[in-house]
A and B are shown apart, each in its own frame.
Chain A
């Protein structure tokens, strides 16, 4: 229960540092955030990722992999 090992869930923890003002996706449901990785070999790096759902600065998310980075949204 409470006294289990800390690494028991999948993915790597990351904290949201900044939220881009533009939305993306077919229905505008995806937002782009800059997040700071807290676990794993890329610890401390800040990367740009697309996420679905509502988020605010300071939230923690879990990333499946930390190696790739998403493209910035280009505004026409």
Chain B
């Protein structure tokens, strides 16, 4: 238990202990060895014989202290503690399988796509299969993005993700209904599961757009989008889409 607590305190500022470990050479080695060092992968931990916490996300961030404020999304945002969120698609095609999948894994799954599909800003973006089916690769991208968020804001990146999803989830949509050969657009509500789906998809799309033909990496684009959406910034792509969707729905009530 004490080791776990020590790890959690480290998790808030992961860049510090690396610098601190190099400086104190005069102190006894055994006393500082355990809390100072940390491993980011299972393999590195085994090599250097260090304890690797399986309850922290990527070995750094705790998911226990993350809170969901919106009661609508609270049932569908899964925050079970896991080091590497991957279920290998075991529950796929079952009813309500999303209630068993970690929220960070769902973000990873949405990022594993070949492009934007439709035209956005006059052009179709294609990654030429660079991310399709490559879950470990995308997992590293998300890990880099979370590190960037932690550097920028100093908060737990999982909390930033949850706040961003709460702000970017739309509440109203339109659908087409036909009466006697004429189509009408009618406003409808959105269920909790679909609200989360739309928000996650917009986050993934915006990071693909931000990194396309640009110096920015995909991880940096994702980090920027999450921080903007968490602060309710109207320049965020996901917030823009949400406002547009709700504006159309409001006029079609």
Interface of A toward B, CB cutoff 8 Å: 1-2, 4, 6, 8-11, 13, 24-26, 29-30, 49-56, 59-65, 68
B78 to chain A, nearest CB (A): 15
B20 contacts the other chain (Cβ, under 8 Å)?
no
Partner of A29, one of B71, B75, B175: B175
- Give the interface SS of chain A, mostly helix, strand, loop or mixed: loop
Asked if B189 and A52 sit within 8 Å, CB to CB, the answer is: yes
For the A-B complex with A9-B70, A30-B188 known, give 13 more contacts whose Cβ atoms are closer than 8 Å: A4-B69, A9-B166, A25-B176, A26-B178, A30-B175, A52-B189, A53-B195, A54-B193, A54-B194, A59-B193, A61-B72, A61-B190, A64-B189
A sample of 11 inter-chain contacts (CB < 8 A) reads A2-B67, A6-B69, A9-B167, A13-B71, A24-B177, A26-B175, A50-B175, A52-B188, A54-B96, A59-B75, A64-B249
Please determine whether B191 and A55 come into contact, CB atoms closer than 8 angstroms. yes
Asked whether, in the complex, the Cβ of B191 is within 8 Å of the Cβ of A64, the reply is no
Q: B residues engaging A (CB < 8 A)?
A: 67, 69-72, 74-75, 96, 155, 159, 163, 166-167, 171-173, 175-178, 186-195, 197, 246, 249-250, 253
Task: Write out the residue numbers on chain A whose beta carbons fall within 8 Å of the beta carbon of B159.
Answer: 1
B253 contacts A68, C-beta separation under 8 Å:
yes
Cβ of B227 to closest chain A Cβ, rounded Å: 13
Structural contact, A51 and B189, CB atoms closer than 8 A: yes
Q: Which of B155, B172, B177 contacts A1 (CB 8 A)?
A: B155
Q: A49 to chain B: which residues have CB within 8 Å?
A: 188-189
Contacts A61-B72, A63-B171 given; does A50 touch B189 at CB 8 Å: yes
Residues A51 and B191 in contact in the complex (CB < 8 Å), given A11-B171, A64-B246: yes
Residues of B near A51 (CB, < 8 A) are 188-191
Complex alpha-carbon distance, A26 and B195, angstroms: 21
Question: Contacts A1-B159, A13-B71, A61-B72 hold; do A53 and B190 have CB atoms under 8 A apart?
Answer: yes
Q: From residue A10, how far is it (CB to closest CB) to chain B in Å?
A: 6
User: Top 3 nearest A-B pairs by Cβ distance?
Assistant: A53-B194, A53-B191, A55-B191
